[in-house]
A and B are shown apart, each in its own frame.
Chain A
Amino acid sequence: KNEVEQSPQNLTAQEGEFITINCSYSVGISALHWLQQHPGGGIVSLFMLSSGKKKHGRLIATINIQEKHSSLHITASHPRDSAVYICAVLSSNTGKLIFGQGTTLQVKP
């Protein structure tokens, strides 16, 4: 079993829909990242979380340390949000980043 699991693996939505991507992890962590990668593009850091909730524009990220779970929400989705979203946790034991498999999001106009 992977130490970081994301769901769903693939997601198709209509423009304007509210989107949720989930990340569960099984290791102790110091922090959790949400990353975005557009097709053929580089990887951009969206959020770094160690507790609570962060918001940037239409993106919201939450984390529940007790439940070892994080969610990334996109409100009023747009075709330009189409990308792979990656959850990564910083292991408090090893100090290394452990990545989820990624969630491929397609937003149709």
Chain B
Amino acid sequence: NAGVTQTPKFQVLKTGQSMTLQCAQDMNHNSMYWYRQDPGMGLRLIYYSASEGTTDKGEVPNGYNVSRLNKREFSLRLESAAPSQTSVYFCASIPRGIVYNEQFFGPGTRLTVL
């Protein structure tokens, strides 16, 4: 049971490049989330998926797209990276929609956009 895994752990992009951050969980959870963490701003929700096949915007969705490929996997895509997207990205997984016991975070992806 690996919990929540994220790849890559580190990435450097040039402005305008695209990339996909991968997230997978093996806990059979329904809900999955993508957050970004910036100094002094705490964790902000980018997108979330309450269940397989559904996705919804969070607090800061602009510049991102997501895909809930199946119950296990939830990817975050930057189509044209910008320096403002330099951040640490965390994927999280929750057992049920709004009633749950624990939240699990992935190890994070540290992204730098030059």
CA A45 to CA B43, docked complex, whole Å: 14
B97 close to chain A: CB less than 8 A: yes
For the side of the interface on B, what is the size category? 20 to 34
CB distance from B27 to the nearest CB of A (A): 13
Q: Determine the chain B residues whose CB is within 8 A of the CB of A95 once the complex forms.
A: 50, 97-98
Task: Pick out which of these stretches binds chain B: A18-26, A57-65, A74-82, A99-107.
Answer: A99-107
- Establish whether residues A48 and B101, one from each chain, have CB atoms under 8 Å apart when the complex forms: yes
B107 close to chain A: CB less than 8 A: yes
Q: A42-B108, A90-B98, A96-B58 are in contact. Are A33 and B42 (CB under 8 A)?
A: no
CA A8 to CA B83, docked complex, whole Å: 30
Q: Which residue of A lies closest to B58 (CB)?
A: A96
A97 close to chain B: CB less than 8 A: yes
CA A24 to CA B40, docked complex, whole Å: 18
For the side of the interface on A, what is the size category? 20 to 34
Q: Determine the chain B residues whose CB is within 8 A of the CB of A41 once the complex forms.
A: 107
Q: Determine the chain A residues whose CB is within 8 A of the CB of B58 once the complex forms.
A: 96
A27 close to chain B: CB less than 8 A: no
A71 close to chain B: CB less than 8 A: no
CB distance from B11 to the nearest CB of A (A): 16
CA A44 to CA B58, docked complex, whole Å: 22
- Establish whether residues B42 and A100, one from each chain, have CB atoms under 8 Å apart when the complex forms: yes
CA A90 to CA B101, docked complex, whole Å: 11
Q: A45-B102, A92-B98, A101-B40 are in contact. List 7 more A-B contacts (CB 8 A).
A: A35-B105, A45-B104, A88-B103, A96-B58, A97-B33, A97-B45, A99-B43
List 3 tightest A-B contacts by C-beta distance, closest first.
A95-B98, A43-B105, A99-B43
